[in-house]
Structure 1
Amino acid sequence: MRVLLIEDDSATAQSIELMLKSENFNVYTTDLGEEGIDLG
């Protein structure tokens, strides 16, 4: 399953990304809302 994570705090994003990856999710992370729209 794929997850798009949009989070402007890099430490929070990294923690969430690691947790999701440990559960075998494919995680795409960005800190920009507009980039998230393009990725979605």
Structure 2
Amino acid sequence: MRVLLVEDDASTARSIELALASEGIVCDTADLGEEGLEIGKIYDYDIIILDL
């Protein structure tokens, strides 16, 4: 499974990334919505988690 996480708080993003990795889930991160949009165009994600 591959997840895109868009989260502007580095500490929160790292915590989520580590939790997902411990379950064998690949997690790419972006700290801005625009960056997440560009990354989302490149890879095929199973789920996208957005910080609203």
**RMSD between aligned residues:** 0.5
TM-score, reference length from structure 2: 0.74
Give the unaligned 5+ runs of structure 2. Answer: 41-52
Partner residue in 2 for 1:11: 11
Partner residue in 1 for 2:22: 22
TM-score, reference length from structure 1: 0.93
Aligned residue pairs total 40
Give the unaligned 5+ runs of structure 1. Answer: none
After superposition, the C-alpha distances for 1:1-40 in whole angstroms (9 at most, x for unaligned) are: 1000000000000000000000001110110110100111
Distance 2:29 2:6 in 1: 6
Runs of 4+ in 1 over 3 A off after TM superposition: none
Identity fraction in percent: 62
